[in-house]
Amino acid sequence: MSEKERWQAAERLALVLTEGGLQRMSARALAVFLFTDAETVTMGDIADRLGVSAGSVSGAVKALLSVGLIERLPAPGSRREHYRLRDDAWSTLFSTQNTVVRVMLQAAETGIATTASGDPAHERLTRMRDFYEFLLGELPGLLRRWQEQHSPR
């Protein structure tokens, strides 16, 4: 029963990740990486656990690899590839916000460039730019504090 609850929690997490921008299947696969008992998992493991096709898993794993949330392990002469969640997965996931902030910043600056000082739009866009500039400046320090606290020395 506890086992059942565990995978319910996994699926709930997947839903949140989906709303956070991840593809549905990628999110579910990530939940497996997180909640599995094994040290590493294969694509077959994921397909079995989720009850989905190998094709779907292939795409999901590829996506997770590309954003650096999981890693492929050196497979010593095995027929299947093994993968696992990276230790820094969560800070990596958070760091994607960094690029979002940059795009917002640039959109604001483009808008500012097309408006005259004094226009209401100019005011609003400037406020927006200031905020995201502030945010962009804060993020590095935030991640640094995390790393210091988490791996002292």
Partner DNA sequence: GCTAAAGTTCGGAAATTTCTGAAGGCTTCG
Partner DNA sequence: CGAAGCCTTCAGAAATTTCCGAACTTTAGC
CA of 91: how far to CAs of 9, 82, 84, 140, in Å?
A: 21, 22, 16, 11
| Residue 17 binds DNA (CB under 7 A) | no
Q: How many helices (H) and strands (E) does the chain have?
A: 6, 2
Q: Which of 31/105 has CB closer to DNA?
A: 31
The four Cα atoms 100, 102, 103, 107 give a dihedral, to 10 degrees, of: 140
For DNA, the closer of residues 45 and 112 by Cβ is 45
List Cα–Cα distances, 131 to 101, 106, 116, 140, in angstroms: 10, 12, 20, 15
Q: Smaller CB distance to DNA: residue 61 or 70? A: 61
Tell me the window of 46-54, 61-69, 70-78, 103-111 that interacts with a second copy (CB under 8 A).
Answer: 103-111
Closest CB 86 distance from DNA, rounded Å = 17
Contact between 100 and 120 under an 8 Å Cβ cutoff? The reply is no
The partner in contact with residue 37, picked from a second copy, DNA, none with C-beta cut-offs of 5 to 8 angstroms by kind, is: a second copy
Q: Which of residues 53 and 147 has its CB atom nearest to a second copy in the complex?
A: 147
Does an H or E element contain 70, and which? strand 70-72
Backbone angles phi, psi at 15, to 5 degrees: -65, -45
Residues that bind a second copy (CB under 8 A): 2-3, 5-6, 9-10, 12-13, 16, 19-21, 34-39, 85, 87, 90-91, 94, 97, 100, 103-104, 107-108, 110-111, 114-115, 119-121, 124-125, 127-128, 130-132, 134-135, 138, 142, 145-146, 149-150
Residues that bind DNA (CB under 7 A): 18, 23-25, 28, 42-44, 51-56, 58-59, 61-62, 77-81
